[in-house]
Every structure is written in structure tokens, then in C-alpha cells.
Amino acid sequence: MRAFLLLLFAWLGSGAAFAASPPCPAPGRLVFESERQIRRSDVGFTEGLEIYDGALYESTGDFVGHSQVNRIDLATGKVTALVDAGRRYFGEGLTIFGGRIYQMTWREHQVFVFDLEGRRLRRLGNPREGWGLTHDSARLIASDGSDKIFFLSPDDFSTLGSLTVRLGADPVPQLNELEYVDNVIYANVFEDWRVLRISPRTGCVEAVADLSGLLDQMRPADRERVAFDRNFVLNGIAHDPRTGQFVITGKDWPVLFVGRFRPA
């Protein structure tokens, strides 16, 4: 016992048990410059958003309407439902990896894998709540509404690793929709007008964009619609690798904003 205690005290004294990460550097500022708007043919309660092969794919929850997987024409805004699950589950984050659509559910702990036409191929389990979903070259990347980001196997959704997202020294909770672009992660914060740019190596927030100005760019009727319900928040980030543009939207928004993030 004495030898064990000596080893324990030596380990604690080394700081190994309580080594804390140093605070992250102060983040930079980004601005989002909208270049055009796309009016949707049908609105959706947007939970996941991604561009693949020139088309915009969307996962919606059933808070307003149905849980669906939609394909949206970036030129016309026409919405085509590939999957309509009704109210059988609450659709959340979506990403396309290896030519397959992955859609998480919110609290049902399910992950559905579809082909690009919406035919279901597999169903996987998720031990956490499903919020945002994206991917890098080898892994799926998910949020669960906490301050954590999880790296997952696309084969079985098993957890490969995780990190805590921090702004300075403070963790950032309620991370929601995600998009991986050029070795960084863009994230919505639930019920917040901020979009964060996060390092997937350290979890540090490298830059912050305030997108509240998008309200001023909406038609009066659109602003009234968004203001009607506190659930109609900013949520949805997709990146088009062909043009370098981002598509930004929110839950039950009639419009999608197309533009670019630039340093402030």
C-alpha cells in the first residue's frame, strides 16, 4: 500500500492527472458577405445542410412539417423530398460520405444511411443525442448539443475520439449544425446568431462571425415569419467546393443566403 501511495503522489505531483489545456488564443472576427438569395419552393425546419455534386441536401425535423431528407436546386430553390419520415422520428444532422447520405435523429439514437435517391441502406446506433453532422476525409464528425465534438467511424458510428470546444478558457455549449471546410469546422450555436470556426485539432474557436445582419436583408414578411417563433433560429451551413461559397439558412426560413466568410 505504501508503495502504491508513493507512486500515486508522484503521479499527481507531476500534474499528469490534472493537466489542463492552456486557454485558447483570442479569436478573430469574420463577416459573412451575402452575394445572393435563393427562395425555397417549400420551407423546412432545417437541421442539417450540405452541398454534394452541385446539389444542396437538407435534413429537417418534424417541429414544423415532417422529418425529411430534401434535395434543393441551387439555381431555382425547388425542393424535392427524397425521404419523408413524417413524425416517426425527428431528423437532425446530415452529411454525405462515400456517396452515402447519413442522417441522424435527435433523441431516438438512430442514424440512417441512404443512397443519393433516398433509398435506405442501413441503420446504425448513436449513444448520444443527434445534433450536427459533417465529415473530414476519413471520419464523421458530430455534435450532441454539448460543448463536445465527436469523431466517429462511418462504418458503425463508433466513437474514435472527441474534443471540447473552447472560446478562450471557456467551453462553448449547445454546438449544433457543423460543416468541415479546409481543415476547420464551422459550427452553429443553438439559439445564437454566431457561427464559430473551430480547430479540429485543439477545439479552440479561431474566429467568430455574427450573422444577425441577415435579418436586415430579408423581406419584411420573411422577418415576421422568423420572429414569429423563437425556434426559427439560424441553423444550416453548407460549403460549395466548386465556388468557395457558403449557403446559410435557418429553421423554417423561406430563403437561403449564398456568400462568403471574410476576415473582419
Provide the residue range defining the domain that includes 88: 34-263
Q: Does a structural domain hold residue 117?
A: yes
pLDDT at 1 over 80: no
The pTM (predicted TM-score) of the whole model is 0.92
- CA 17 vs. chain centroid, Å, equals 32
Q: In what order do the strands lie in the sheet with 46-52?
A: 46-52, 55-60, 68-72, 79-84
Q: What is the pLDDT of residues 132-169, one digit of tens each?
A: 999 999 999 999 999 999 999 999 999 999 999 999 99
6: CB partners within 8 A, 6+ apart = none
C-alpha cell, 124: 446504425
Mean pLDDT of 113-132: 98
Q: Do 206 and 167 meet the contact criterion of CB atoms below 8 Å apart?
A: no
**pLDDT of amino acid 4:** 46
Q: Does a structural domain hold residue 247?
A: yes
Q: Does a structural domain hold residue 81?
A: yes
**pLDDT of amino acid 6:** 41
CATH number for the domain that contains residue 146: 2.120.10.30
Q: What is the pLDDT of residues 53-106, one digit of tens each?
A: 999 999 999 998 999 999 999 999 999 999 999 999 999 999 999 999 999 999
Q: What whole-number distance in Å separates Cα of residue 157 and Cα of residue 153?
A: 5
Rounded mean pLDDT of the chain? 93
**pLDDT of amino acid 21:** 77
Q: Does a structural domain hold residue 47?
A: yes
Q: How confident is the model at residue 15 (pLDDT cuts 50, 70, 90)?
A: very low
Q: Does a structural domain hold residue 13?
A: no
pLDDT at 257 over 50: yes
Q: Looking at the 3D structure of the chain, how many domains does it have?
A: 1
Residue 207: closest CA among 173, 165, 246, 239? 165
Q: What whole-number distance in Å separates Cα of residue 150 and Cα of residue 122?
A: 21
Q: Does a structural domain hold residue 19?
A: no
pLDDT at 10 over 80: no
pLDDT at 8 over 50: no
Q: Do 225 and 233 meet the contact criterion of CB atoms below 8 Å apart?
A: no
Q: What whole-number distance in Å separates Cα of residue 93 and Cα of residue 60?
A: 8
Mean pLDDT of 109-130: 98
Residue for grid cell 462504418: 155
pLDDT at 181 over 50: yes
Residue for grid cell 435517391: 117
Q: Does a structural domain hold residue 64?
A: yes
